[in-house]
A and B are shown apart, each in its own frame.
Chain A
Amino acid sequence: MKKYSIFSLIRNAVEFHQNWEQVWRSPDPKPAYDVIIIGGGGHGLATAHYLAKVHGITNVAVIEKNWLGGGNTGRNTTIIRSNYLWDESAAIYEKSLRLYEGLSQDLNYNIMLSQRGVMNLAHNLHDVRELQRRIYANRLNGIDSEFLSPAQIAEMVPIINTNADARFPILGASLQRRGGVARHDAIAWGFARSADNYGVDIIQQCEVTGILRDGGKVSGVETTRGTIKAPKVAIVTAGHCSVVADMAGIRLPVNSVPLQAMVTEPVKPILNCVVMSNAVHVYVSQSDKGELVLGAGIDGYNGYAQRGSLHVVEHQLASLCELFPLFSRLRIMRQWGGIVDTCPDASPIVSKTPVDGLYINCGWGTGGFKATPGSGWVFAHTIAKDEPHTLNAPFNLDRFSTGALIDEHGAAAVAH
């Protein structure tokens, strides 16, 4: 792999960008691997990267039915933060944020991490109390978090409507300064390039149609490009996790629902941090291209169609205009939907399964992007050691029968 640097950029510019090397190979599947990862999104590719880098396991295939990062990795609103209430969540998301902070260097790929701050607004007394509780919980967990008064909010984001006579007055906000955004495609491509460099085979346009088992043990997968054997198989298929787990007879506590997002036409820099509001349900940031990127809640029904209903979009835009009256003059440029895998406790599952050698990483719901490197890191550990890391041990599949749920509904700084 040729290193990316200012010098390689100059050299290639002189050569009119004709000689950039291919970023990853597109090999045919081998008959057998040590580990098969089903799903070539951010989480799957991160898992492959850390399997190779941390655990030295490189005889690995990542199987993707479509193209890399074409699912939720390419459809999210790219927000990164770790200000979760509960200790278990705080630990795993903070691990992820720490990995993000060094990821451009680790991958030699610019992920365009911008730690511009994530602001969560409070609109009533209860919001303020919950927010302060979360701020203190975050600080106890070593996560930066601070309270902003309406005057401080107005100073930081003057365009926000902080008038006391607003329909939903703003009484305060939490701010995580280390939070921010990153380039989502770059996460998938950077992890793919690195994993490929370690010798991982990335196989696109190949759909898994069955999971082979020998007794209670996994032995490989059936795909549209033939049978591939492996003693360890890892499912990282987000919206389609129930479909793939069903191939091994495993039922999951997951519902797949549409989540919609959109971008406006590009404008000059106007919003310098991420603003989220639970009560007036919307979250928004401005991309480096100048578009406002916004999203809100999930649609109200199960669906695999990667599209949602228009009244959900209307609600999102009404919320945006409530908070930022001047945005009412912007036009929406693109709107899309993804399928998010939601769990009853709004926390993920990164776990072994009842089938030996079969691992599952799913249930990240509406907040998986921020967890990408951390999720891959703990999942690689789980696969390599055949036991969970302390960080993901609480996020096991058994918690639904033991009752040790990690209830992040409403506690996670954003409504689900």
Chain B
Amino acid sequence: MLMIPCPWCGDREEAEFRNGGEAHIERPKNPDALSDEQWADYLFMSSNTKGVYLERWVHDHGCRRWFNVARNTATNVILSAYKIGQKPTKEERQ
């Protein structure tokens, strides 16, 4: 089980959280201007990174807040957790 560092509550067990998929996917500003391929890329395609992966979690059995986590998907080591709206550091983006 992962031990997830909630930015508000501290280290809590994974069972308290739910994963929200890849982080920093921005909804296109003008969806009507997109081609079907571009829309599919936004909607369905995922980077599915092996290595450091930026993802969203929600502490739904705790403070119920959303936040971002940088986790290595090959080792499950969590590098850091940071708040929604913040950008990952260069190290986290590796």
Which residues of chain A have a CB within 8 Å of any CB of chain B? 240, 242-243, 251-256, 300-305, 307, 309-311, 344, 400-403
Contact = CB atoms under 8 A, between A and B. Distances in A.
B48 interface: yes
B40 A400 contact: yes
Given A309-B1, A311-B1, A401-B39, A302 B73 contact: yes
Contact of B75 (A243, A305, A402): A305
A300 B46 CA distance: 16
A311 B48 contact: no
B73 A304 contact: yes
Interface residues of B, number: 28
B16 to A, nearest CB: 10
A251 to B, nearest CB: 4
Most buried by B among A253, A302, A303, A310: A302
29 contacts: A242-B47, A242-B48, A251-B46, A251-B47, A252-B46, A253-B40, A254-B46, A254-B48, A256-B73, A302-B49, A302-B53, A303-B76, A304-B50, A304-B73, A304-B74, A305-B74, A305-B75, A307-B76, A309-B1, A310-B1, A311-B1, A311-B13, A311-B14, A400-B43, A400-B45, A401-B36, A401-B39, A401-B40, A403-B36
Contacts of B36: 401-403
Interface string B49-76: 1100101000000000000000101111
A309 B14 contact: yes
B48 A252 contact: yes
Interface in B1-39: 1-2, 13-15, 18-19, 21, 36-37, 39
Most buried by A among B44, B48, B73: B48
Contacts of B73: 256, 302-305
Most buried by B among A255, A304, A311, A403: A304
A185 B76 CA distance: 28
Nearest to A399: B40
Contacts of A252: 45-46, 48
Nearest to B51: A304
A110 B36 CA distance: 47
B42 to A, nearest CB: 11
B74 A253 contact: no
Contacts of A302: 19, 48-49, 53, 55, 73
A251 B38 CA distance: 12
Contacts of B45: 251-253, 400
Given A303-B73, A304-B50, A311-B14, A251 B41 contact: yes
Nearest to A250: B45
A369 B44 CA distance: 25
Nearest to A240: B50
A401 B75 CA distance: 33
Nearest to B15: A311
List 9 A-B pairs, minimum CB-CB distance, nearest first. Answer: A242-B48, A253-B44, A401-B40, A401-B36, A309-B1, A251-B45, A301-B19, A400-B40, A400-B44
A307 B14 CA distance: 14
Contact of B48 (A256, A309, A310, A403): A256
Most buried by A among B2, B13, B50: B50
Contacts of A311: 1, 13-15
A305 B72 CA distance: 10
A198 B41 CA distance: 41
A334 B93 CA distance: 36
A217 B14 CA distance: 44
Contacts of A256: 48, 50, 73
A231 to B, nearest CB: 26
Contact of A300 (B18, B43, B44, B53): B18
Given A255-B46, A309-B1, A400-B45, 7 more contacts: A253-B44, A300-B14, A301-B55, A304-B50, A305-B76, A401-B37, A403-B36
Contacts of B37: 401
Contacts of A253: 40, 44-46
A243 B40 contact: no
Contacts of B50: 240, 242-243, 256, 304
B2 A301 contact: yes
Contacts of A251: 41, 45-47
A243 B46 CA distance: 11
A77 B37 CA distance: 36
B79 to A, nearest CB: 15
Contacts of A305: 73-76
B80 to A, nearest CB: 16
Contacts of B41: 251
